[in-house]
Amino acid sequence: MEHNGKTYWATVLSLLTKILIIWFLVSFGAGILFAPALNSISLGGYPLGFWFAQQGSIYTFIVLIFYYAKKMGDIDRLFDVHEE
């Protein structure tokens, strides 16, 4: 059980890390640090960096949360710690 608890937590942390990397890349990466470079690309009339800062990152955040909620449900059942 103790061992199982540790693997569960490690699995959770690795999922969180992956999601946080994407979270960082779209907002701080594409929306801020690389925005000037991306602005030379046009997306439906938007400069791409501007689009990430004012539109794209928000859409990505929604997807990330629902992906997280689904994955966590899977992990909970795999380790048999889900709610009754």
Summarize as ranges the residues that interact with other proteins (CB under 8 A): 5, 8-9, 12, 16, 19-20, 23, 27-28, 31-33, 35-36, 39, 43-47, 49-51, 53-55, 57-59, 61-62, 64-66, 68-69, 72-73, 76, 81-84
Alpha-carbon distance of 27 to 11, in angstroms, equals: 25
Both structure tokens of 69: 């909620």
CA distances, 50 to each of 15, 61, 64, 83 (Å): 29, 16, 21, 42
Looking at residue 34, its amino acid is F
Q: How far is the CB of 64 from other proteins (least distance, A)?
A: 5
Nearest approach, Cβ of residue 27 and other proteins (Å): 5
Residue 14 C-beta: closest distance to other proteins, Å: 13
